[in-house]
Chain A
């Protein structure tokens, strides 16, 4: 953890991730500071006009009109220059912000592409999406707006105080003291035990009300069905009122401090003037001092305004570093290690050799599913079926072949080559898998099938579609193979999506096929067609199938019966039935279930 100390945090880390140079931001800072100074010049103009008036007050005819007019134009010119530099500075920071967001998105997407398949499940993907969406706006706002604001405020304050102190030490000091006092009161509210306690209470309440809202909304259909919306509404309502009351109490606790802070900053002249009058009373006829006093009156109040911008700085910084931490959590997820000297298998039998495995379940509530001492060989050209109760490890075994996860002990080999010795690309070319969670791209059906083999000809795609029993339904669609899927295009049924994914796999023609017998799909017509499609797919391949319905694997060349992460029995259907063990019991249960008829008047 030593290097963790050196690790950059917050905005610097953000720049590092995005690979963005600081140039644009520095540029934006300089322009913003220039803008701040330009925007001060109109005040100076007013001061010089006042000075001109004051020094010729007794005799108006000697007032230099053209001089005052010139100062009027200078005020306009510098105001416009100030706005232009402000615009340029803001553009620089916006461009920086958008580039950083672009870099961030690209980097994240690239990294996700290198993560183990096992990591990329619905939950983790959802979390990544949330991280990206929620933090992007905050990051944009901070970089695009707050950074130039900060430079602007800083330049204003520094220049102003330099001039004020140069002109009159005591009045400047009083002005500064008042500002320090104001900010002291403001920050004092945020430190100390009570304040910390309050902040914690507030965040806890916020979290609670958020959870309550999510539950209320997500559970609404269920609540409605049981006619309890009024009750559920009341619970949510009570939570919300509690939250509101807490917010009000929370904000009440800041009331006096905040009001005092604003009062002091709005009343800088109230502090400056008495000191000015005191100094004036010592030398009542000095035109020079009167002019200095005028300068303080015109510019003094302006020292406070830019400082308001620092008020929200700490909370923004906290937001940013929290967001960056969350993004870093994704980056710290280790990518799949690629082999130094990759090998390619020549033959395609799949061999498990003393494989043990367990999921890393820290922080998840999922049940631990583990494998131990799994050894078997799935011969090329044969069907190996995995059966067993849910949680027995059959899906885990299937997941280890395309390297969703890496084994903890032992090895998984294809044609004698350890899958960890293969390049990811080669492994993916070797193994096809058809699992239940299929996905179609927002693209034409044609392209969606051609995904299986990017260079495939039109004929090959059609042939695969025919073999997968999708050709007919595709032809019936308005634009046939050129029909767009999803997002304003056509939505396919679950069974149709399955068949398209099988068509992909057929087109890919990989020698090893890992299959979740997901054919228990919801409608009778599709079910039969899916089965036809699968029949085409398994020809002459090394097939490993996760079976739910025992009838579909009766003819498998090898059946592995899993129980609690171990192989309990193995053999062909008839042998296993004769054994009278686990498989026999499962078969009996299965045949009972298959003969189920729903009838009225059959109490349980």
Chain B
């Protein structure tokens, strides 16, 4: 049942229609069989009772019925086709929509940590597999399981002993298949390990290829890669070799029914308790009845493979979404009260308490890994803290609608994403419905106007996906223009953005100055000189606040800040010389 839920991405009820129509069509297909059996009876009749003439009229009628009945088969096929394909596309579309909606409401932090390629692939590729199972594999499998039951019941009326003989080994096949899932999993773990290992070796080889070449390591690194490929090949073969017999054993135990049927039939026939025609009917049916089941068994691994896609989707759907509906109040002071937070089990921030009054500028400084950017991410509710409270304008942000909160916050971080759209529209993203004059105004303030006008089509120049045609500094300034247009009262800023593009540093600096004018600002600072006029400088180390105060106060304390300051003064005077 887990498989059913996985393969429909949590919507097993969607299967009812396609399965119903497929089974209906399968049942429709039984009728010609019955007609053929009737014909077989008629053909046998003169030989069983010599002297009776061949019932040619009857045979003609059966033939005519068979030909006419093709219309019914056709109708059945159309019904099954429509039900399966339409259901498949509908389930996939609905599933994609639900996943997209879920994604939209996941914490930002989760989204930024996942590989977007993975997520997009889940959205498209995995659902394509689900389409495939819904339109093909699953109805086929379920039909193949239901038909023998109908056959068993129907034939039991004819002769229950023969009917039982025919399907006597079926329970064994079911047991083998059920057991095989477990076997497959335990056998599969080594295979999967080899797969992962080969993938990461390849990843390392490709990503490190420049280093490998630069240090003449092609030999040894290549050996490592080659070994992992060889191991993968060996494990794949081993896995296939061991899992194959299980499936075939199941097939064999289904098909053994024919021989059992023959043996029991001959015994009963010679014993005089079975009439010849019944035996003939069972033989004709017995030659065909196992085919759908065999096909289903052979295709079962594929179904399981598709179920993995569903499992991935369901796992994502289980990721908790952000709660909270309230709108943030009109005040914009920010307070952390004993906040502890970690991405995994290890805390990155320990018991952090701080205040950022409305309209003030707070700088966060400290060595890398000290928790500076984590604090900014918590303000914007990328994540919720494990303990403690973050208060925005007097309200716990946990009660706020995450998007409404984000409307009050502008962020200028190092990674900028530009949409595959015109530059103008990319800036307009800051505020929907902004006029062209407003867009241009923001662009001017962010020092983008000049370079935009140099582009072939000005503001209408299309940007590649992710902004691939612009330099780092240019992208950065566009993101600042966006933020200026958004005009949010709180600005979160990573100062490093200013020197992403050293040649255009001044431009970016001007843009940042325009952005932060008159707002509540929290800024991650790397060059201490830049933030020495901040109202409050918070010095972090190892996820704890070690000092805070103004520049002069902190220098006077002669602690970590003073040490960092001195180091930077020295670095300033540095010069490369042989």
Query: In the complex, are the beta carbons of A243 and B568 less than 8 A apart?
Result: no
**SS class, residues of chain A in contact with chain B:** helix
Interface bracket on B: 35 or more
Query: In the complex, are the beta carbons of A555 and B577 less than 8 A apart?
Result: yes
Residue A466 at the chain B interface, CB threshold 8 Å: no
Please list the 3 inter-chain residue pairs (A to B) with the smallest Cβ-Cβ separation, ordered nearest first. A72-B262, A548-B502, A604-B514
Query: In the complex, are the beta carbons of B213 and A113 less than 8 A apart?
Result: yes
Interface hits, A573-604 → B, CB 8 Å: 589-590, 592-604
Residue A176 at the chain B interface, CB threshold 8 Å: no
Query: In the complex, are the beta carbons of B502 and A549 less than 8 A apart?
Result: yes
Query: In the complex, are the beta carbons of B255 and A523 less than 8 A apart?
Result: no
Knowing A298-B287, A495-B368, say if A102 contacts B530 (CB, 8 Å).
Answer: no
Docked CA distance A80–B198 (Å): 37
Interface centre among A73, A523, A590, A602 (most CB of B within 10 A): A523
What per-residue 1/0 map shows which CB atoms of A70-88 lie under 8 Å from chain B? 0111011001100110110
What per-residue 1/0 map shows which CB atoms of A50-78 lie under 8 Å from chain B? 10011101101001010011011101100
Interface hits, B502-543 → A, CB 8 Å: 502-506, 509-514, 516-518, 521, 523, 526-534
Knowing A75-B262, A83-B252, say if A247 contacts B47 (CB, 8 Å).
Answer: no
Chain B positions within 8 Å of A266 at CB level: 29, 32, 73
Residue B206 at the chain A interface, CB threshold 8 Å: yes
Chain A positions within 8 Å of B312 at CB level: none
Chain B positions within 8 Å of A264 at CB level: 70
Docked CA distance A383–B575 (Å): 11
Considering the complex, give the chain A residue whose CB is closest to the CB of B566.
Answer: A528
Chain B positions within 8 Å of A589 at CB level: 506
Docked CA distance A224–B245 (Å): 51
Count residues of A near B (Cβ-Cβ below 8 Å): 184
Interface hits, B14-71 → A, CB 8 Å: 29, 32, 36, 39-40, 43-44, 46-50, 53-54, 56, 59-60, 62-64, 66-67, 69-70
Query: In the complex, are the beta carbons of A383 and B77 less than 8 A apart?
Result: no
**SS class, residues of chain B in contact with chain A:** helix
- Interface stretch among A190-198, A229-237, A313-321? A229-237
Query: In the complex, are the beta carbons of B503 and A69 less than 8 A apart?
Result: no
Chain B positions within 8 Å of A129 at CB level: 202-203, 206
Considering the complex, give the chain B residue whose CB is closest to the CB of A308.
Answer: B295
Chain B positions within 8 Å of A407 at CB level: none
Docked CA distance A301–B73 (Å): 15
Chain A positions within 8 Å of B380 at CB level: 225
Query: In the complex, are the beta carbons of B56 and A80 less than 8 A apart?
Result: no
Residue B120 at the chain A interface, CB threshold 8 Å: yes
Residue A273 at the chain B interface, CB threshold 8 Å: yes
Query: In the complex, are the beta carbons of B266 and A65 less than 8 A apart?
Result: yes
Further contacts, 12 of them, CB under 8 A, given A49-B283, A596-B498: A46-B287, A75-B259, A87-B244, A101-B233, A224-B111, A227-B406, A229-B403, A385-B576, A520-B502, A522-B496, A593-B506, A598-B531
Residue B172 at the chain A interface, CB threshold 8 Å: no
Docked CA distance A227–B482 (Å): 13
Interface hits, B319-368 → A, CB 8 Å: 359, 361, 365, 367-368
What per-residue 1/0 map shows which CB atoms of B101-124 lie under 8 Å from chain A? 101110010011000110110011
Query: In the complex, are the beta carbons of B361 and A216 less than 8 A apart?
Result: no
What per-residue 1/0 map shows which CB atoms of A366-394 lie under 8 Å from chain B? 11000000000000011101000111000
Docked CA distance A454–B223 (Å): 15
Query: In the complex, are the beta carbons of A598 and B214 less than 8 A apart?
Result: no
Docked CA distance A585–B278 (Å): 104
Chain B positions within 8 Å of A566 at CB level: none
Query: In the complex, are the beta carbons of B236 and A602 less than 8 A apart?
Result: no
Query: In the complex, are the beta carbons of B469 and A367 less than 8 A apart?
Result: yes
Residue A362 at the chain B interface, CB threshold 8 Å: no
Query: In the complex, are the beta carbons of A552 and B63 less than 8 A apart?
Result: no
Residue B146 at the chain A interface, CB threshold 8 Å: no
Interface hits, A257-272 → B, CB 8 Å: 258-260, 262-264, 266-267, 269-270
Residue B93 at the chain A interface, CB threshold 8 Å: yes
Query: In the complex, are the beta carbons of A297 and B564 less than 8 A apart?
Result: no
CB distance from A337 to the nearest CB of B (A): 15
User: 14 A-B pairs, CB-CB below 8 angstroms?
Assistant: A50-B280, A58-B50, A125-B206, A220-B103, A240-B96, A241-B93, A270-B67, A290-B43, A297-B284, A365-B469, A433-B214, A508-B215, A522-B526, A598-B512
Knowing A83-B252, A237-B100, say if A598 contacts B202 (CB, 8 Å).
Answer: no
CB distance from A116 to the nearest CB of B (A): 9
Chain A positions within 8 Å of B43 at CB level: 280, 290, 293-294
Considering the complex, give the chain A residue whose CB is closest to the CB of B213.
Answer: A117
Chain B positions within 8 Å of A169 at CB level: none
Chain A positions within 8 Å of B466 at CB level: 218
Chain B positions within 8 Å of A391 at CB level: 471
Docked CA distance A265–B417 (Å): 54
Query: In the complex, are the beta carbons of A525 and B367 less than 8 A apart?
Result: yes
Chain B positions within 8 Å of A600 at CB level: 359, 361, 516-518, 521
Query: In the complex, are the beta carbons of B252 and A80 less than 8 A apart?
Result: yes
Query: In the complex, are the beta carbons of A209 and B229 less than 8 A apart?
Result: no
Query: In the complex, are the beta carbons of A54 and B47 less than 8 A apart?
Result: yes
CB distance from A415 to the nearest CB of B (A): 17
